[in-house]
Chain A
Amino acid sequence: MPRRQKTVVVTFGGGARDEETFGPEGQENIPHLMKELIPQATFFTQVVNRGILGHYVATASLATGIYERFDNFADVAPENPTVFEYFRKGLGRPVNDTWVIAPSNGFNRIGQSAGGTFAPGFGARVVLPKHLLTAALGKTSTNPSGLEFLLQDNYEDMLFTPPSVQNEIQPSKLTEMLHLSADDFTHHAQTLSSADELSVYVMRQLMRQFAPSLLWITLHDMDVAHTGAYSLYIEGIRRTDRLCAEIWQMIESNPEYKGRTTMLILPDFGRDSDFSPSGNGFQHHRTGDPLSRTTWMMAMGPHIRQNRTVDRALDSVDLVPTLGAMMNFPTPLAKGRPILEVL
């Protein structure tokens, strides 16, 4: 891989169904994906997740290329090596060359596997924007009232207590690294309308400061569907659609990224079908029915064929070997196969 080639992976840690996105009736919710990004992308219409349909464990599976089996709500690291470890070890990259922007405290262990034998210490740095904001709010004179909506941690089980975060980097150190004062960060947060916007803001800072070669962000707003409020779920999808376009604009307007970045966008999985009797439609992803397991992926970048649709079914665990093949590092323990259409 040329030294300056970069990859950005955008996952949705809140499943979205075809009928609210790329199905005929859902396209009105994703104007940016439809009109701006699809024409520049190779679009895969079927990505099947055969693993556990919980957002942390599913995202961890995307990152390891193996269907992880741990309790979705447990404070554990993935058992198998992550793509970040493969990347750093395989290419000898420094710690700041791969970052994960995670949507909730429950994702704080995703950067480094628990296995410890493959590449201990080669994980990604994980930034938890909400954790960052919480810390900043504690250090600023600004009245924190009104920013709680940016700190929403988890929708899947509203009564779940997220694990206490033990990051390798202290929030104060992180804001310093990102050249953000607590006041600036807090003030900017006040202009945002959701937790995902906060994540994208942090992503922009990371791209400016470190220009990591492998950057992974998980968006989470649409998982508000678990409250059963369809309008809020749709609102989350529309915001995510806009943020995906913004991320691409960030890539195209940043000289470190422009013209040398591949972006992959994929939800971790779908949501239950309206017609699955054991489910309650869009609200959850508990039935394991085909709709809840099947989603899509969009790939775009200088080496990706534009305006192309691929209907063959991919597997979620194909992502890691594909990233390895694209960026030229081995992924020996990952399952799945490289997706030839993007290589």
Chain B
Amino acid sequence: MIAPGELRAESFARYPPQARSFAVANLPVLQRMPLILIALVLRQAIQYDWCFPREREQLSCQLDLLGRMDAASFDALMAPFSAIQLSVELRGLDWVSEPQQFSEQLTAYLWSQHQIDRYHEAAQGYQRSLEKTLAEKTVTTPRWTMVTVGQGTQQTELPLFRRLLPHGTLFTNVDPSDGLEVLLTEIRSRAQQYPLEYGHWYIEGGELHAGSKGVQGLTVMSYARLVAAAKREFALLNQFTNRAGGGGKVGVEAVSSYIAGLNPDDLGLKGTSADDVLRHFEVNVLTQGAGCQIYSTTFVQWASRECLHRAQPLTLFARFATRQRSAPVEQLLARDPLQQPQDPQGSLADADMGAYYTWINQSRLAGADQSRFLVWFEGHGVVCAVSPTLPRGTTSTASVNMRQVLDWMR
């Protein structure tokens, strides 16, 4: 296999059209990168055609910045990556056309050579340096994330929102009667007021709420709709392992590579070219998120994480539903999760943690100090609201409604 310095435009012949153009346009800077980093960059670049606008922008900014650096600064930034020794086998892999597979092999190698910590340090240092140099994009309006947990749960003794309370105000006497409608109205309003491609999302753990249909500018995805794709994924994997293993076992890396190569058509996800990016995102969620195929709670948490990380939306509404009861994996992989007995209490505990993780993931984005976060025990009177306008670590027992809580958060 070639070294980074030997890259040519033809090297990217197997890339999708926009990805190829992007790589060729940035060829000079790619040629200067150490192998570990370039493979990391190409893993994202090869997906360029299906990246969200924010991802494309970040990738372009990153390479622009590196291209503008003087040689000494560039070399200093690359030095931690260059210092990590790679095996001849790794260098011989087709890291240009198959950067995902290269990454998997690289990770296994770094762990086995006890170099994973060095790699993480290098990656984190690189990330910090980029963040310091690239001015954070100004957010047009504070981000809002709204999460509902406990859909369909009548009661609980779980102490909810304990992890979030230190960061916000806990309202324990909220009128739940029109809570969902108020939240959906807020989401519709924001989508209309701040039009932005992939800027407003609704991720549902069950069936989509009727109030979300036909809302201009709102990207929606639901577990109920994707279950068929998840089942298709498992069926394809079974076929693959039977075929590749000839009845024997197939290595984890081979399975990972196969999964990484699946596309929306493989999983039966139909759509138009206009929503190709979303379909690929759905495939990524299903193929990269452990457990989100079988448990709707894991699906909402992981999809929200990926949405915040990749699309960096202005608005996210994540609605947890119940997941099926636990069972042996063979059964979980084979059965329809929507037709099984549900575990409402377990789902609520999962969603409580999922809401906390969603807040953490929102907190990693630009403008975090101005972001708003609300989590509601759906159908009940408990809400935790995190906003610079509200005190932290406080509990309010006053009788309020959802509209008031939203107004106080503005």
Contacts and interface: CB of A to CB of B under 8 A. Distances in A.
Give the bracket for the number of chain B residues in contact with chain A.
35 or more
Contacts of A281: 353, 357, 360
A315 B209 CA distance: 52
Nearest to A288: B116
A43 B327 CA distance: 35
Nearest to B360: A274
Interface in B222-261: 237, 241, 245, 249-252, 255
A275 B360 contact: yes
Contacts of A67: 114
A163 B356 CA distance: 38
B120 interface: yes
Given A230-B353, A283-B290, A159 B255 contact: yes
Given A231-B345, A274-B357, A73 B251 contact: yes
Contacts of A70: 112
A288 B328 contact: no
A158 B111 contact: no
A287 B123 CA distance: 12
Interface string A120-150: 0000000000000000000000000000110
B312 interface: no
Given A161-B249, A229-B346, A230-B350, A283 B291 contact: yes
Best-surrounded residue of A53, A159, A160, A226 (most CB of chain B within 10 A): A159
Nearest to A70: B112
A231 to B, nearest CB: 4
Best-surrounded residue of B332, B349, B352 (most CB of chain A within 10 A): B349
Given A148-B328, A227-B290, A288-B120, A163 B323 contact: no
Contacts of A235: 346
A69 B349 contact: no
Interface in A49-72: 50-54, 67, 69-71
A25 to B, nearest CB: 8
A157 B290 CA distance: 8
B331 interface: yes
Given A161-B249, A228-B291, A275-B360, A71 B117 contact: no
Given A71-B108, A277-B364, A280-B302, A152 B328 contact: yes
A181 interface: no
B323 A229 contact: yes
A325 interface: no
Interface residues of A, number: 47
A67 B357 CA distance: 32
Contacts of A163: 249
Nearest to A160: B252
Given A51-B114, A71-B108, A231-B346, A148 B291 contact: no
B329 interface: yes
A69 B326 contact: no
Contacts of B113: 69
Given A152-B329, A229-B326, A50 B346 contact: no
B321 to A, nearest CB: 14
B330 A288 contact: no
Interface of B: 108, 111-114, 116-117, 120, 123, 162, 237, 241, 245, 249-252, 255, 289-292, 294-295, 297-298, 301-302, 305, 323, 326-333, 343, 345-350, 352-354, 356-357, 360, 364
Interface of A: 25, 50-54, 67, 69-71, 73, 75, 148-149, 151-152, 155, 157-164, 224, 226-232, 234-235, 274-275, 277-278, 280-284, 287-289
16 contacts: A25-B162, A71-B252, A151-B328, A158-B291, A161-B245, A161-B249, A227-B294, A227-B298, A229-B298, A230-B349, A231-B346, A231-B350, A232-B346, A235-B346, A274-B360, A278-B120
